[in-house]
Amino acid sequence: MEAPILITGGAQRIGLALARHFIAANVPLIVTYRTRHNSVEELAAQGVKCIQVDFNEPNAIDKLVHQVSEYTPALRAIVHNASSWDCEKLNPNHDALFDDMMRIHAKVPYLLNMALAPLLQASQEVTDIIHITDYVAEKGSPKHIAYAASKAALDNLSRSFAAKYAPDIKVNSVSPSLIIFNEHDDEAYKAKTLKKSLMGIEPGCKEVIASIELLLNSNYITGRTLAVDGGRHLK
Ligand SMILES: NC(=O)C1=CN([C@@H]2O[C@H](COP(=O)(O)OP(=O)(O)OC[C@H]3O[C@@H](n4cnc5c(N)ncnc54)[C@H](OP(=O)(O)O)[C@@H]3O)[C@@H](O)[C@H]2O)C=CC1
Ligand SMILES: Nc1nc2c(c(=O)[nH]1)N=C([C@H](O)[C@@H](O)CO)CN2
């Protein structure tokens, strides 16, 4: 078997679209999921190794690393996509919120990168770690303070790990702003959000997929952040 790509949080939305993209390209996949969405059956039926993990649970990392290591001797790439878009307004326990945000967005990628690097280095080619961050990592967000700080920490990991693992492993961030709305987003929110970027569109998952493919196919980009944000920084 060709070395698989590991995607965290691959059972819905962007992660699922990315998984479907790689399935169509016959790229072997490992996907983690927390909630057993119907998509898990679809992915498993197409040969994807689906591993249930809630990164808030104790020993989640050790269990995942063991299962991945049992399944494959090498990895082609890791895409850290799993994320929780939580905010201070809905989480008055700011102590717990800060810890939760830092755990899922920074500690989990950090620990997985440290533990799974040998599997990436076991591949016969240059491999990749890709962190999915967020435009607010550079700008901040008054409504998602802990979330934005944790994504900034994740973005910083790209530079540290790029220096640590070169030239065997390239490490980069993909930093989106709006990609796809959530089902509960109302028309007023959508209109307000679309005005935040120069392009003014909801671009869809294909923009993130194209950015990830660009990084996977480069032999030279590392330690960098690919902004996929419709020119939001210029509004
Ligand atoms: N959607 C957008 O427009 C934007 C997205 N991004 C980033 O892109 C990435 C994908 O976004 P999107 O698809 O909207 O993400 P989602 O909000 O749909 O979440 C992605 C996945 O993360 C999983 N997850 C969350 N918490 C945990 C946990 N504790 N343990 C295991 N898995 C967990 C979820 O599992 P479960 O199914 O159980 O909920 C879900 O499947 C994220 O990193 C996000 O921050 C950045 C900017 C814009
Ligand atoms: N884990 C998630 N992170 C983010 C989401 C999301 O749905 N899940 N959504 C956004 C928004 O699209 C924002 O970019 C514009 O309102 C940000 N991060």
- Annotated catalytic residue 147: yes
* Closest C-alpha to 106, from 153, 53, 175: 153
The residue behind tokens 């790990």 is: 161
Name residues whose C-beta falls within 8 Å of residue 3's C-beta, 6 or more positions apart in sequence: 28, 72, 74, 75, 76, 122, 123, 127
HSE (side-chain half, CA atoms, 13 Å) at 127: 25
**Three-state DSSP class for residue 129:** strand
One pLDDT digit (tens) per residue for the chain, 235 residues: 799 999 999 999 999 999 999 999 999 999 999 999 999 999 999 999 999 999 999 999 999 999 999 999 999 999 999 999 999 999 999 999 999 999 999 999 999 999 999 999 999 899 999 999 999 999 999 999 999 999 999 999 999 999 999 999 999 999 999 999 999 999 999 999 999 999 999 999 999 999 999 999 999 999 999 999 999 999 9
Query: 203 with 151: CB under 8 angstroms?
Result: no
In this structure, which amino acid lies at residue 124? Q
CA distances, 142 to each of 8, 90, 123, 147, 155 (Å): 27, 13, 42, 10, 19
ipTM surpassing 0.95, yes or no?
Answer: yes
In this structure, which amino acid lies at residue 12? Q
Residue from 33, 110, 135, 147 carrying the catalytic annotation? 147
Q: What is the best residue among 134, 155, 208 to mutate for testing ligand 2's pocket, by most ligand atoms within 8 Å of CB?
A: 134
Q: Which residues line ligand 2 (CB under 6 A)?
A: 83-85, 134, 177-178, 182, 193
132 pocket-lining for ligand 1 (C-beta < 6 Å): yes
180 pocket-lining for ligand 1 (C-beta < 6 Å): yes
Structural domains of the chain, with CATH:
5-234 (3.40.50.720)
